[in-house]
Amino acid sequence: MAKNLFWLWLLILLVLNVIPIGNKTNNALTDNRIVFRLDYLIHFGMMLFFAIIWGVGKCRNVNWFAKHETLKYCTVLILAGIGLELLQLALPWRTFNPVDLLFNLIGAALAVAIIIVSQLIANLKRVKR
């Protein structure tokens, strides 16, 4: 079940990034001033959620990939953070926002850091046994 949660979450994010949304929230950022919007936290959180999925999977002894699972999981996570936002460049009803991409990457980077640290701790515990 936990392994399916990873792919389900990725699919949900893909669908949410391609469906048309209202014009008011779909406007491009045209000001030169820095504006912080709530959806930046959503972008951050949606990528950070992958770390929670990793943790749930590890508690249930899920092997995400046969070899190099941490590297592959983190690579998919980073590519998802980039690809989900870049996909909006190809959709006429969506607007690419570089700040959204930045918050995707910040969330993904923090998730990767959490995953790597948790994996290092798990490896240290295994060595001590």
24 in a structural domain: no
30 in a structural domain: no
- Burial-class residue 54 by CB neighbours within 10 Å (0-12, 13-18, 19+): buried
23 in a structural domain: no
| Pair 84, 17: CB distance under 8 Å | yes
Please report the pLDDT score of residue 115 as a whole number.
Answer: 95
Residue numbers of the domain that contains 48: 2-13+38-128
33 in a structural domain: no
19 in a structural domain: no
Please report the pLDDT score of residue 70 as a whole number.
Answer: 93
26 in a structural domain: no
73 in a structural domain: yes
The more confidently predicted of residues 32 and 124 is 124
pLDDT tens, position by position, 64-118: 888 999 999 999 999 999 999 999 899 888 888 898 999 999 999 999 999 999 9
83 in a structural domain: yes
Please report the pLDDT score of residue 29 as a whole number.
Answer: 47
pLDDT tens, position by position, 12-59: 999 988 887 655 544 444 455 666 677 888 899 999 999 999 999 998
Total structural domains within the chain: 1
- Burial-class residue 129 by CB neighbours within 10 Å (0-12, 13-18, 19+): exposed
Taking the complete model, does pTM exceed 0.85, yes or no?
no
